[in-house]
Amino acid sequence: MRNDGTGIIQVLCGNGKGKTSAAVGMTLRAAGNGFTVFFIQFLKFGKGRGEASVLKGISGIVYRSFGAGIFLSQETIGIHDRRMAAEGLEFIQTAVSGRSMDMLVLDEIGAALELGLVSCEELDGIFEQGRRWLDIVLTGHVFPDSILDRADMITRMENVRHHYDRGTPARRGIEY
């Protein structure tokens, strides 16, 4: 367990591509240096796809997914989505209180916040528990100011041009 007092909160946000990919890279670097990383995905369904299939097989990485893998909006959120988000938060709170990791990645937590599946207060509790010893990485398009104010590092991915705009759909193995 790394316990050097240098844990920070990092936010990867914006409308550009690469937030999850950057978080995966950070995860691999940390695990490669002997750290334990919990990589938690909200809204995504990670069974046998993309980064999930690789992360699950690496020593030092605990991968969990709490989502159905479908695009959600305020109109389409169901009880199952709320239940999965609550289960994810409970899993994280238990792991953080047990100091089970050196790095915690919360992929798509920005969308979970935006949709009201997770609250800023719940995240604040996790931040406080991990203060000074845990690196926390948050990904998502947008974040409330209260979360950004707590961040030690913010990287904004900017969309300059995207193939979606020309009608090319997301491709397996590249975008997901």
DSSP symbols for the chain: ---SS---EEEEESSSS-HHHHHHHHHHHHHHTT--EEEEEES---TTSHHHHHHTTSTTEEEEEES-SS---TTT--HHHHHHHHHHHHHHHHHHHTT--SEEEEETHHHHHHTTSS-HHHHHHHHHHHTTT-EEEEE-S---HHHHHH-SEEEE---S--GGGGTPPP-TTTT-
Quick one: pLDDT at residue 49? 67
pLDDT along the chain (176 residues), means of 10: 79 95 97 96 72 90 84 72 92 94 96 94 94 94 96 95 84 77
pLDDT at residue 170, rounded to an integer: 81
- Give the pLDDT confidence score for residue 4 in this predicted structure: 72
**What's the CA gap between 33 and 77, in Å, rounded?**
39
- Residues 108, 138 contacting (CB under 8 angstroms): no
- Delineate the domains of the chain, giving CATH numbers in brackets: 9-160 (3.40.50.300)
